Structure 1
């Protein structure tokens, strides 16, 4: 039985956690809240605070468990219902979120903010139901009947004109337009999307790359619509060229407010240099995530609905992994639910037969899984996919002749982290993520010797547009 001293010490630990939280150091906050819980496991606020920190780290499964424990300890704890609803919304468990938002409104009928969020959630549930109802299994391609010749670019357009091939001049002009808050003409958007969709569709599910003499390949993690931080990578590390290739490991879009700018720039480079500029699909290059986290809304606001449909189809054509020098497997999420899977299974995976990853299977695991420090496999902290331990990584690397797996998918405060005895490397390239997390960004340079060089960088100023402006958001109560 815990003593009064234990409770006092735990409360002091919670206060330290709150301070770390205020400083946007979510991992340290979680560490203090966990120590408080270990010392005194009867205070629901410890769990509720940890739930909020886990939400910040997108560990939504853990957040749901913590909020549920807080509710178990205090059935009237409004913040816990709220945070459980937020976490369930984040992983698209909209019905569960709806129940909790209803509970908040029932317990606090005069809470205007709660009523607004309940209405948002109800609209989201209706939208999901409607989209499922009209879903056509063998829908025609969005590119079908796309008549580019019939789209006129009027004389008033003040940007560089794009003909039949991508040029560096067009890219340079596009970057300047985007920096100045301008868009490119929709004809050029459609041209870029069609050209790149055709290129990536014909690439294998696992692209295999060698780093030739006198060249360099840079691996970047999530960029999440942080366009000005992407430009900082290029400023520091060099723009793509014939001797300097890039691999962007998924999650180009959503959350940040310049997702179309990032996606179009990366696609333009892919069109310009298709054999030395690579794109892996991430879990945010999917329809469900784009509807909730902003990309669909941004496409419609800056261009039109057709743009989103074309992007959606192009995303489903992207490769799922890249093998560098036969030593490093690069994929967005991580490893698998069974040791039987090999590189050959990735090679054989027909990603075109399944446009969206679904809730199970090899594609879903490649996009969603995360490493854990404990051996074996465990439930996902996100509530989607699973977690894999150092022994799983060791066996996979040994069975496939790999030195390491490089993945992204998670914020790392230093921009990168080397785990699992050096065999699992996370790289994340969105510094000061969503303008709230005090993390660095990072990228990895790989030369012909296949040695890994880690580089960190800080966020740069950007126009005063808040993250996720086109997103369905549920803020903290």
Structure 2
């Protein structure tokens, strides 16, 4: 390889580093990719691109790039570290454990690595223990829950909640959350139980129209960014009898106000069950909640039972919403089998399986992603798969759809229209994890069923760091 190619590649790497420092992960990936095309013998090119993939949650790609860096230089510590982080993210704890051990062996004084190694060892032991005691049909978390017997003492300074949700309670709850306060444990349990009962009775695919004089707003991931959720309502209007909302999964994890978002969305669902809709996301699952903060947040702010109740309520959520017979809305994306139809979704009994598992329709609905090339490919995340524009076209034509609307991925402009207009991604967590310089977005749909895209910026919030965001070592 001529030295000029290596020099040109290094210059591209430096441009990638600059984009990374500006938190523009997609541009950084492009520069590192061009550097690799020029010269593919430098492990830092692959390791740096792996770090970008981690930021973009493309953990499968990150594992592949870190592995290539290690093949080029078996002593390259950053590559072991990044592969460990990526495997941790997709819950491959045993593989991550090997790499954390490799880092500590090479850098015995690395405190961060020793801490991560200890955490990973603890997690692996916990997984093995839970597997050993696992029962096939665990009892309901709501069993023996006597909400009526819980007393709200006189010192509670918030609005009281009776047997029905009220706008007054919601307004007070929003203000409490803004001030760093909690709602009473009794009210927390009431809200979760009410919404669990409502959503359990809904079909796996909810079918809604948009009546004259009303509109429906579709929002993507909010990930515990409570103050940005309030910004959506400030800009676009709060839920009302004439303004319906659909939140397309991933309400919780990562951000530090996941319980606040969950309680607010649930309260609106209880208040207006036919005008407020919730689809399940891949982060409304036990494994993800343990790894990305929601379980810990529930225990810290309320108690362990609160998490168990939320967990069971998450498994009751619908998996998709069909809007006006034109837009199929689900968190992840399409399927490994072209024969899958909307009728298959209608018939899917989500109540027989609380967690999505590693295969099947539920897993695909929560985890898959679009790709620009035709056909299907391995997942960049390391979970699920990817589907091309031809897959989307066939699904839409077969089912009489105009487009699918999904979330699940950061988009720098808050949304993206792909696959010849048939695949739309909307993401509603701007400045994701306080590190990505992305906008948020939401989609308004009126009676004519036309899509109206709106972008918005992140707003200031109290200085509490996201509960789980990967540290980014210097490139």
Q: TM-score range by the shorter chain?
A: over 0.9
Q: Is the 8 A contact 2:203 2:346 kept in 1?
A: yes
Once the two structures are superposed, the pairs formed by residues 109-258 of structure 1 within 5 Å of their partners are: 109-258=108-257
Q: Which residue of 1 aligns with 2:38?
A: 39
Q: Distance in 1 between matches of 2:158 and 2:33?
A: 55
Q: Which residue of 2 aligns with 1:65?
A: 64
Q: What SS does structure 2 have at the residue aligned with 1:182?
A: coil
> Aligned-pair distance for 1:110?
2.2
> Aligned-pair distance for 1:114?
1.3
> Aligned-pair distance for 1:107?
1.4
Q: Which residue of 1 aligns with 2:53?
A: 54
> Aligned-pair distance for 1:142?
0.5
C-alpha RMSD of the superposition: 0.9
Q: Which residue of 1 aligns with 2:302?
A: 303
Q: Which residue of 2 aligns with 1:18?
A: 17
Q: What SS does structure 2 have at the residue aligned with 1:430?
A: coil
Gaps of 5+ in 2: none
Once the two structures are superposed, the pairs formed by residues 64-463 of structure 1 within 5 Å of their partners are: 64-463=63-462
Q: Is the 8 A contact 1:26 1:53 kept in 2?
A: yes
Q: Distance in 1 between matches of 2:412 and 2:220?
A: 13
Q: After superposition, give the CA deviation of every residue in 1:71-110 in whole Å (9 maximum; x if it has no partner).
A: 0000000000000000000000000000000011111222
Q: Distance in 1 between matches of 2:346 and 2:363?
A: 15
Q: What SS does structure 2 have at the residue aligned with 1:145?
A: coil
Q: Is the 8 A contact 1:286 1:315 kept in 2?
A: yes
4+ runs deviating over 6 angstroms: none
Q: What SS does structure 2 have at the residue aligned with 1:66?
A: helix
Q: Is the 8 A contact 2:46 2:66 kept in 1?
A: yes
Q: Which residue of 2 aligns with 1:464?
A: 463
> Aligned-pair distance for 1:472?
8.7
Q: What SS does structure 2 have at the residue aligned with 1:154?
A: coil
Q: How many residues align?
A: 474
Q: Distance in 1 between matches of 2:169 and 2:213?
A: 27
Q: Distance in 1 between matches of 2:34 and 2:369?
A: 23
TM-score (norm 2): 0.99
> Aligned-pair distance for 1:360?
0.4
Q: Is the 8 A contact 2:254 2:469 kept in 1?
A: no
> Aligned-pair distance for 1:454?
0.0
> Aligned-pair distance for 1:134?
2.1
Gaps of 5+ in 1: none
Q: Distance in 1 between matches of 2:102 and 2:31?
A: 29
Q: What SS does structure 2 have at the residue aligned with 1:109?
A: coil
Q: After superposition, give the CA deviation of every residue in 1:182-229 in whole Å (9 maximum; x if it has no partner).
A: 000000000000000000000000000000000000000000000000
> Aligned-pair distance for 1:112?
2.2
Greater Cα shift, 297-306 or 104-113: 104-113
Q: After superposition, give the CA deviation of every residue in 1:377-406 in whole Å (9 maximum; x if it has no partner).
A: 000000000000000000000000000000
> Aligned-pair distance for 1:113?
2.1
Q: Distance in 1 between matches of 2:111 and 2:269?
A: 47
Q: Is the 8 A contact 1:47 1:66 kept in 2?
A: yes
> Aligned-pair distance for 1:135?
1.8
> Aligned-pair distance for 1:474?
6.2
Q: Is the 8 A contact 1:224 1:253 kept in 2?
A: yes
Q: Distance in 2 between matches of 1:112 and 1:156?
A: 45
Q: Is the 8 A contact 1:120 1:472 kept in 2?
A: no
CA separation of 1:98 and 1:475: change in aligned 2, threshold 3 A? farther
Q: Distance in 2 between matches of 1:98 and 1:473?
A: 16
Q: After superposition, give the CA deviation of every residue in 1:27-46 in whole Å (9 maximum; x if it has no partner).
A: 00000000000000110000
Q: Is the 8 A contact 2:298 2:304 kept in 1?
A: yes
Q: What SS does structure 1 have at the residue aligned with 2:359?
A: coil
Q: What SS does structure 1 have at the residue aligned with 2:246?
A: strand
TM-score (norm 1): 0.98
Q: Distance in 1 between matches of 2:174 and 2:461?
A: 14
Q: Distance in 2 between matches of 1:200 and 1:115?
A: 43
Q: Is the 8 A contact 1:217 1:244 kept in 2?
A: yes
Q: Is the 8 A contact 1:246 1:277 kept in 2?
A: yes
CA separation of 1:472 and 1:303: change in aligned 2, threshold 3 A? farther
